[in-house]
Amino acid sequence: MDSIITASYAVHFNEKGYEILNDQLVKNNYSKLFILVDQNTHNHCLPRFMGNIEGEYDFEIIEIEAGEVNKNIETCTQVWEVLSELDADRKSAMINLGGGVVTDLGGFVASCFKRGIDFINIPTTLLSMVDASVGGKTGVDLGSLKNQVGVINQPQLVLVDPEFLYTLSERQLQSGFAEMLKHGLISDANYWNTLKNVTNFNALDPLIHASVSIKNNVVVQDPTEQHLRKILNYGHTLGHAVESYFLESSNHELLLHGEAIAVGMILEGYLSYQLTGLSEPDLEDIKTTFLKRYKKVAFTKKDIEAILTLLKFDKKNSHGNINFVLLEKIGKPAIDVKVSSELMHEAFEYYAK
């Protein structure tokens, strides 16, 4: 598959990706190479990765605990301390091998260590391949506030190797697939229709490439999220709040990111129907498609109140307003739409129906 290359970053795929990675490791002559993993990718992905590396390097492996609850400043501090103890210097580089927690946190750690060292992202989940691999967003959570602390900074290179997907559960694959469905909703009705009917997750390569391309086209046009890039937040305004709430609330099962934004995409579909002209059939199509893949979540009145309170912390806010990305139709987004609190409550009612 063709690499996706822009002035500030490059995403490479499969065997060719490893070739380019191996070349860059030789060319850049890093003083030291660190590989950041969690216990899962340490066990299941590192062996395959190492098997594709030519040449001899004294890799230092740094393992963090898996899971979104560990994507925080305390974990960053631990990694910074390990890097210091292991004599990392400005010419060292970090390879982040893992899902979004590892690549988001690892990218942030590298971007701030001694004011920035090189890093390479190797996403191992479907979610991180199609979402975190492009765009340079790095960061960690602050308490229950997602990605509250971070920077925009590009990795030296991203390598997408779909073989890693065989290490994932069906549930994790579905979670990543939600972001791909989002790519259809915000940019291409045909792509949405193709994805809707995908049941076999063993032949995703061309679809992953398509999703990365869609995201890339958006990010290239608006790297700092002034306007167009906001469309990538479809489903995420309410979805993030739902995710944060379930993350901090001890009496709820944990929702995966894709599961939370699937809820968000239905809720914001309803808002689109009310505010930006999304047709009723399109709305029903969105709801049916997501509920076929993702178990319906039961929200109590108290849950909904708490979720809407969390909303105000969302990064898309400014001057106290909450700006939504909504849809005019499937494939055509509208940005900066303000929504009343009443309508958000209605959206939860529609979801529950």
Collapsed DSSP state (helix, strand, coil) of residue 148 = strand
Q: If binding is defined by CB under 8 A, does position 350 make contact with a second copy?
A: no
Q: Among 98, 120, 121, 81, which residue's Cα sits nearest to residue 43?
A: 98
**In angstroms, what is the minimal distance from the CB of 324 to a second copy?**
15
Q: Which residue from 57, 59, 201, 313 is in contact with a second copy, where contact means CB under 8 A? A: 313
Token representation of residue 277:
């002209």
Cβ-based nearer residue to a second copy, 108 or 294: 108
Is residue 150 close enough to count as binding a second copy by CB under 8 A?
yes
CB 318 to a second copy: min, Å: 4
Q: How many residues does the chain have?
A: 353
Q: Is 116 a binder of a second copy (CB under 8 A)?
A: yes
Residues 6+ away with beta carbon under 8 Å from 54: 22
- With CB under 8 A as the rule, give the number of residues binding a second copy: 38
Q: Which is nearer to a second copy, 14 or 153 (CB)?
A: 153
Q: How far apart are CA 187 and CA 178, in angstroms?
A: 14
Q: Match 């379930």 to its residue by tokens.
A: 246
Smaller CB distance to a second copy: residue 61 or 151? 151
Q: Is 111 in the site for a second copy (CB under 8 A)?
A: yes
Quick one: which of 51, 56, 115, 202 contacts a second copy (CB under 8 A)?
115
Task: Note every long-range contact of 196-203, with CB atoms under 8 Å and residues 24 or more positions apart, other chains counting.
Answer: 196/289, 201/126, 201/165, 201/170, 201/173, 201/177
Binding mask 30-69 for a second copy (x = CB under 8 A): -x--------------------------------------
Q: Of residues 91-110, which lie at the interface with a second copy (CB under 8 A)?
A: 91, 108
Residues labelled catalytic: 115, 137, 179, 215, 225, 229, 233, 236, 240, 257
The tally of CA atoms less than 13 A away on the side-chain side of residue 214 is 25
| Nearest residue (CB) to a second copy, 85 versus 170 | 85
Which of 98, 215, 71, 67 has its CA nearest to residue 161? 98
The residue within the footprint of a second copy, chosen from 65, 89, 284, 349 (CB under 8 A), is 89
Q: Cβ neighbours of residue 347 under 8 Å, at least 6 residues apart?
A: 238, 267, 268, 270, 271
Q: Rounded to a whole number, what is the distance in angstroms from the first to the last CA of the chain?
A: 43
Q: Per CB under 8 A, does 28 bind a second copy?
A: no
CA atoms within 13 A on the CB side of 228: 12
Closest by CA position to 76, among listed 170, 5, 141, 169: 141
Residue 287 beta carbon to a second copy: minimum distance, rounded to whole angstroms = 31
Q: Does residue 90 interact with a second copy by CB under 8 A?
A: yes
By CB under 8 A, tell whether 12 contacts a second copy.
no
Closest CA to 267 of 338, 343, 337: 343
* Vertex 234 angle, CA 230 and 237, to 5°: 90
Among 227, 295, 296, 312, binds a second copy (CB under 8 A): 312
Would you count residue 84 as binding a second copy (CB under 8 A)?
Answer: yes
State in angstroms the smallest separation of the CB of 303 from a second copy.
Answer: 21
Task: Calculate the alpha carbon distances from 159 to 21, 206, 211 in Å.
Answer: 8, 15, 15
Closest by Cα among 84, 100, 201 to 158: 100
By CB under 8 A, residue 317 contacts a second copy: yes
Using CB under 8 A as the binding rule, whether residue 319 contacts a second copy is answered as yes
Residue 75 near a second copy by CB under 8 A: no
Residues lying near a second copy in the complex (CB under 8 A): 31, 73, 76-77, 80-81, 84, 87, 89-91, 108, 111-116, 137-139, 142-143, 145, 147-152, 312-313, 315-320
